[in-house]
Chain A
């Protein structure tokens, strides 16, 4: 054929877009499942790649810490893509976009409406996120599409699927005849070796993370791609780069007469009543290219920056957004947590000092997903309203495994530094304290020292003294009473996890002495607090 029919080409392009979305979503799921300990002390690949190519997180984080974070430079790739090919990332690659389109396809959605309700909002959100970041209030993780997606999946959907599976296969194993188990047991084993997580995990904010993702997905039934059109600041940022870039899109013209098909079917509401396609909004889904009765929609090229660098907001909107984002930093300074941080806010090993840690943390939940003991949990308000979903160790849930360094390896921004094993062994994240009113050898004269048994430092940080006591019954007896060696304890919390008391542990970890804050060093006989350096 000498002359390819454009409809044929457009049809293939559209199919290619759908295939690309499916492929990248599967790739995302593959990486998601692989974000786990796989038998090696180093993790080869994880979902953190997604966060390192995210220009919104890169820009917000670098503005916040006022330095270039090399881990996040891959975001330049997505910027380059936007400069060349508009918001094709949103239409072809974004896993959340793929999920929303797939959801609509499977479960239906609202008819596309040409008018986006809050078309200015993504830009406002973008400005608020960036200006707040500059003034030390990290908000990007709350609205970033990848953070919302990964958090919801890793803290609710994925453990939820496992919980249902365990319940089901426990039932079949314990209550159904052996013939049924000939099928169900190999199936369970197969699922465990492929997609199910290795262990059941539990999360403090699982429902909150699920709720946010649920709202994003369910909004599809109000408007197609509602999140992308009305909220997503990453989309707004990529739109801005698209307008700076070379891609132009030629829509319909007066010869189309009454036909508004392109505008009617557009999932992004990118086409106005004059059939003009907004390059800032269009995600190149190729629907209109194919569905246009005249096949007159086409690509073109534009001289970069010829469309102007303005933000697309009115001056009033821009100023309102900017000044609004200045209010928050000024009022956050007066909270009591600035005087005394929450003592139970135990950050993972390798954490930077608190302000820089929070500025870098994008709330992706990778560290918590990869934490093999389930000890890392999303924090609610202990770290302030700007610290929600950031990680902290809840030692009653799980402890910091002595020889494990995975959380630092998957952190996309370096909020958690990568520690080699030797550094990890010495990195103090907190300090263990005994509650002698509860500890069995002290309070009841009952022998125990399970904490000492589990203490992982080669020379144990929990030691014990043999003490003669008189029991409640009046018998003389010797018990081993444990104590903490301050110089050796690194605050891993295994003692708190394993303490056999059924409720509150008789040994607990606080942030005292944590290495990331030199000011919180422990008092010693030679150097009591208030003296010395």
Chain B
């Protein structure tokens, strides 16, 4: 496959290029020659206050849920439910966005749709107060389950392509899902500036997660070489502009009623960055992941599909 060859070439070049380089420098620029070889991914960006319709429209622009979920599939929908905060506070993925995605996956014939996150605050409080418990329950299907992380299911994975991380514990169900849908909430973060799709993968790994904060951008990119979502939906219905990632004050919340979706995890993050008035290269995980050939970050090489409902 051309793409596969490209990735190998990238990795070779990147390994030469990045020797001894610290990614914590915020203004690291990718070489044009690397980005040129990337395909042009679609990113859907839809606005509307009816979140069920919003999800539907976003999926329609990307080619409907049926092109991602096949009948009988085991699906994982991975929102951010990390914090003991209400939906209005914008620290977690909006429950209506999640439940609408779950319903679409069920309609596409999924045999099982699991929703979970490895939370930062106490897990029951996070699930309940984020509105996720009620949202999943209200779907009323036994195939849709909001589950707590089971410590027995973390498996160590060798990260063959990792530059900073060589091995980490991943959640088995996330790795083995037929379709893994990443549904981050877009928000401010003190260290990484923004928490988007790549940062959301912190919720399916075990171990001492705090230790990843040194060289976080590269670490997240390394994790992304293992964890490959079929679909990324960035929830920007509400964005936290300050005091992230958990916020708490409504004055830091901006209601945008927007979703972004893409099969390209890096492109989704890159386009979401603009909502905060930042550029893709301001986010070190986007830069690192792009440099490793995991996706496109140059807005000029991303096909934006706008819509509204």
Contact = CB atoms under 8 A, between A and B. Distances in A.
B13 to A, nearest CB: 23
B67 interface: no
A173 B152 contact: yes
B213 A458 contact: no
Given A404-B122, A475-B22, 14 more contacts: A37-B125, A170-B152, A174-B152, A402-B84, A447-B214, A450-B213, A453-B189, A453-B246, A457-B248, A458-B247, A458-B249, A460-B190, A478-B25, A480-B191
B125 A403 contact: yes
Interface in B1-47: 22, 24-25
Contacts of A165: none
Contact of A464 (B190, B210, B211): B190
A77 to B, nearest CB: 34
Interface of A: 37, 39, 169-170, 173-174, 198, 372-373, 401-404, 440, 446-450, 452-454, 456-460, 464, 475, 477-480, 498-500, 502
Interface in B185-224: 189-191, 208, 210-211, 213-216
Contact of A480 (B124, B190, B245, B252): B190
Interface in B59-101: 84
Interface in B141-187: 152
Contacts of A448: 191, 210, 213-214
B24 A450 contact: no
20 contacts: A174-B152, A372-B122, A401-B122, A401-B125, A402-B84, A403-B84, A447-B191, A448-B214, A449-B191, A453-B213, A453-B245, A456-B121, A456-B248, A458-B243, A458-B247, A458-B252, A464-B190, A478-B24, A500-B208, A500-B210
Q: Which 10 A-B pairs have the closest CB atoms?
A: A500-B210, A458-B248, A458-B249, A450-B210, A500-B211, A372-B122, A446-B214, A452-B190, A448-B213, A170-B152
B122 A453 contact: no
A449 B84 contact: no
B139 to A, nearest CB: 18
B52 interface: no
A373 B122 contact: yes
Contacts of B245: 453
Contact of A372 (B22, B124, B189): B124
B129 interface: yes
B156 to A, nearest CB: 13
A464 B246 CA distance: 16
Nearest to A198: B124
Interface residues of B, number: 30
A440 B213 CA distance: 11
A454 B120 contact: yes
B192 to A, nearest CB: 9
Given A456-B248, A459-B249, A460-B243, A499 B122 contact: no
Nearest to B190: A452
B124 A39 contact: yes
A404 B211 CA distance: 27
A403 B124 CA distance: 12
A317 to B, nearest CB: 51
A375 B229 CA distance: 36
B133 interface: yes
Contacts, number: 84
B208 A453 contact: no
- Chain B contact residues: over half helix, strand or loop, or mixed? loop
B129 A403 contact: yes
Interface of B: 22, 24-25, 84, 120-122, 124-125, 128-129, 133, 152, 189-191, 208, 210-211, 213-216, 243, 245-249, 252
Contacts of B24: 447, 477-479
Contact of A404 (B125, B189, B213, B246): B125
Contacts of B129: 403
Given A477-B22, A500-B210, A500-B211, A37 B190 contact: no
Nearest to B215: A447
B190 A453 contact: yes
A479 B25 CA distance: 10
A449 B213 contact: yes
Contact of A37 (B124, B210, B248, B249): B124
Contacts of B211: 500
Contacts of A174: 152
Residue from A448, A479, A502 having most chain B Cβ neighbours under 10 A = A448
Nearest to B83: A456
B127 to A, nearest CB: 9
Nearest to B251: A458
Given A174-B152, A373-B122, A401-B122, A39 B213 contact: no
A449 B152 contact: no
Contacts of B210: 448, 450, 498-500
A403 to B, nearest CB: 5
Contacts of B121: 401-402, 456
Contacts of A479: 24
Nearest to A499: B210
Contacts of B84: 401-403
B172 to A, nearest CB: 11
B213 A447 contact: yes
Contacts of A475: 22
A139 B208 CA distance: 42
A421 B19 CA distance: 51
Contact of B190 (A173, A373, A449): A449
A11 B127 CA distance: 53
A266 B123 CA distance: 51
Contacts of B122: 37, 372-373, 401, 404
Contact of B128 (A39, A401, A447, A450): A39
Contacts of A402: 84, 121
A352 B125 CA distance: 27
Residue from B122, B189, B246 having most chain A Cβ neighbours under 10 A = B122
A262 to B, nearest CB: 54
A156 to B, nearest CB: 22
Contacts of A447: 24, 191, 213-216
Nearest to B120: A454
Contacts of B189: 453
Given A475-B22, A477-B24, A456 B125 contact: no
A401 B121 CA distance: 7
Contacts of A478: 24-25
Nearest to B212: A500
Nearest to A500: B210
B25 to A, nearest CB: 8
Contact of A453 (B125, B128, B133, B191): B191
Nearest to A374: B122
Residue from B133, B214, B245 having most chain A Cβ neighbours under 10 A = B214
Contacts of B246: 453-454, 456
A440 B214 contact: yes
B218 to A, nearest CB: 12
Contacts of B252: 458
